Amino acid sequence: MKNLRAWSDHLRPKSQTPPQQTRKTTSLLVSVSVTLASTLLTIIPIYYSSLRYYPSFLWTSSVSSSSSTSSSHGHGVSAGVPSAKQFDLFTGEWVPNPDAPYYTNRTCWTIHEEQNCMKYGRPDTGFMKWRWKPNDCELPIFNPYHFLELVRGKSMAFVGDSLGRNHMESLLCLLSRVENPVEVQLQRWKLTGYNFKIAHFWAPYLIKAERADANDPSYTALFHLYLDELDPEWATKIVEFDYIIISAGHWFFRPTLFYENGQLVGCFNCYRENVTDLRFSYSYRKALQTAFRAIYSSRNFKGLTFLRTFSPQHFENGSWNQGGNCVRTRPFTSNETRLEDINLQTHSIETEEFKVAESEGRKRGLKFRLLDITFASLLRPDGHPSRYGHLAPHDNMTFVNDCAHWCLPGAIDAWNDLLLQMMKMEDGRSFDKTKSSWAFHFF
Ligand SMILES: *[C@@H]1O[C@H](CO)[C@@H](O)[C@H](O)[C@H]1NC(C)=O
Ligand SMILES: *[C@@H]1O[C@H](CO)[C@@H](O)[C@H](O)[C@H]1NC(C)=O
Ligand SMILES: *[C@@H]1O[C@H](CO)[C@@H](O)[C@H](O)[C@H]1NC(C)=O
Ligand SMILES: *[C@@H]1O[C@H](CO)[C@@H](O)[C@H](O)[C@H]1NC(C)=O
Ligand SMILES: *[C@@H]1O[C@H](CO)[C@@H](O)[C@H](O)[C@H]1NC(C)=O
């Protein structure tokens, strides 16, 4: 049941706003020292700058001279791909797609109430009618038949928080065009015709974590994070899976106490005397290291691991608990915004730790890939439920605008366009522009 509570945990009731959240944040250092609510969710300024803010090494451009598959940089898409040509799937624009969406809340039964925006009265539909167009190539729309052929007899695990579940539910809906997934256990699904299994493992910190006071009804409760200890909930089970998609980030902005070797080494926002505030970047980096180590040092795991990068939030005109909302109805163009602050910091940590893991994995014959949705998603302020979500009735909480999760159908479906494209590239087929545009028109 805790899966269902992810978002409500994430959003604390208005009445429980800690006093520090009202403090004015002037510098980045100060701003990251306060809680999630006042940092991650503050106004996202819009920059009209042509500056691409991404460090260039993150991107493999089509003119890159590095076509070597032994590149030591863990470029998500290119590393290990046999194709001579390398495409950057992650830099681009959203372009109109009148054919979308490819499912509705009538054809897909598994849309979570909180993301069923049409059911809860979202008046505009334009946000569903876009597709991601990388600058260098065409990205085919998700083809569920192609996907299911690739995963026949296989299994895929999503490990992370409620955004990981949101991603999985988009995939389930896209696949429901071919066959309705059956929930065989809580958060375990099967498409029997293809003998394909999907699971979501609830692991918002990826590592071993405990609420400091399990009985504390306040959602501000501290968490103990054991930065060097695995979360056995998923780490002992990965062996069963052919694909793992891990993701995290948002929960690291809560007040947390950090342990290494069983010793308290610091905290984030704990405001305790004699405990050093090491910031969220310390715990997020260590958690990724520990999670990756669990994967590449697992003896029997032979699968393909994706790190799905940080999913930006889009509260504007105030933080989530100060009337902030996301009311836009169109995507940004890439020159209307840029990656910065929390989005940039989390993304940098992810790409740095991914590179290390990719290299360690390669030594052991394991593949790690970077599913880098951050920039594309940053351009989708229109994709969130805002007030057109709905909490499960058992959550006695004041509902505030949700500018973190994604409406289904909607922008998040493109994460699966990217996922399938990357899986196809692993499958050894080179990425051919003509073929991909054919695939795009397949439906
Ligand atoms: C689907 O959305 C429509 C509005 O487009 C709404 O009337 C209906 O109740 C929703 N159905 C389900 C099953 O969510
Ligand atoms: C913090 O350290 C000082 C000096 O060692 C000590 O006097 C004080 O009691 C400590 N405070 C807490 C809350 O442990
Ligand atoms: C922010 O507030 C201003 C003034 O109330 C309003 O005009 C604008 O539309 C708001 N922007 C967003 C994105 O909510
Ligand atoms: C931003 O990009 C769009 C589309 O790529 C273009 O039409 C527009 O002129 C650009 N605006 C600026 C200020 O560069
Ligand atoms: C929600 O409120 C109702 C009525 O006040 C109460 O009976 C119920 O136990 C509450 N549920 C939770 C999960 O707190």
| Residue with CA nearest ligand 3 atom 9 | 327
The ligand 5 site (C-beta within 6 Å) comprises 394, 396
Give the pLDDT of residue 399. 61
Cα angle at 25 between 205 and 320, to 5 degrees?
55
**153 Cβ inside 6 Å of ligand 2:** no
Rounded distance from Cα 10 to ligand 4 centre (Å):
35
Give the pLDDT of residue 54. 25
To test the ligand 4 pocket, which listed residue (52, 333, 379) has its Cβ within 8 A of the most ligand atoms? 333
**363 Cβ inside 6 Å of ligand 2:** no
| Residue with CA nearest ligand 4 atom 11 | 335
How is residue 47 written in tokens?
């920059």
Separation of alpha carbons 243 and 84, rounded Å: 25
Give the contacts of 376 (CB within 8 A, at least 6 positions apart): 90, 92, 94, 132, 414, 418
Query: Could you tell me how far CA 187 lies from the centroid of its own chain?
Result: 17
| Residue with CA nearest ligand 3 atom 7 | 317
Rounded distance from Cα 128 to ligand 2 centre (Å):
56
| Residue with CA nearest ligand 2 atom 5 | 274
Strand order in the sheet with 207-211: 207-211, 223-230, 256-260, 263-268
Rounded distance from Cα 161 to ligand 5 centre (Å):
25
**119 Cβ inside 6 Å of ligand 1:** yes
**116 Cβ inside 6 Å of ligand 1:** yes
Q: Which residue has the tokens 């909930």?
A: 233
The ligand 4 site (C-beta within 6 Å) comprises 48, 50, 93, 333, 335
Rounded distance from Cα 332 to ligand 3 centre (Å):
16
The ligand 3 site (C-beta within 6 Å) comprises 316-317, 325, 327-328
**Active-site residue set:** 162, 402, 405
To test the ligand 3 pocket, which listed residue (317, 325, 328) has its Cβ within 8 A of the most ligand atoms? 317
Rounded distance from Cα 317 to ligand 1 centre (Å):
30
| Residue with CA nearest ligand 3 atom 1 | 317
Atom index in ligand 2 nearest the CA of residue 273 equals 13
Rounded distance from Cα 408 to ligand 1 centre (Å):
12
Rounded distance from Cα 272 to ligand 3 centre (Å):
38
Q: How many CB atoms lie within 10 A of CB 362?
A: 18
**273 Cβ inside 6 Å of ligand 2:** yes
Give the pLDDT of residue 219. 57
| Residue with CA nearest ligand 4 atom 12 | 335
Atom index in ligand 5 nearest the CA of residue 394 equals 13
**118 Cβ inside 6 Å of ligand 1:** yes
Rounded distance from Cα 324 to ligand 2 centre (Å):
39
**105 Cβ inside 6 Å of ligand 1:** yes
Is pTM beyond 0.85? Reply is no
| Residue with CA nearest ligand 3 atom 10 | 317
| Residue with CA nearest ligand 5 atom 9 | 394
**Digitized pLDDT (tens) for each residue of the chain, 443 residues in all:** 333 233 333 333 223 333 333 333 333 332 332 333 322 222 222 222 222 222 222 222 222 223 333 333 333 334 333 343 467 999 999 999 999 999 999 999 999 988 999 998 999 999 999 999 999 999 999 999 999 999 999 999 999 999 999 999 999 999 999 999 999 999 999 999 999 999 999 999 999 999 887 676 555 678 999 999 999 989 999 999 999 999 999 999 999 999 999 999 999 999 889 999 999 999 999 999 999 999 999 989 999 999 999 999 999 998 877 889 999 999 999 999 999 999 999 999 999 999 999 999 999 999 999 999 999 999 999 999 998 987 544 455 556 789 999 999 999 999 999 999 999 998 764 444 334 433 332 22
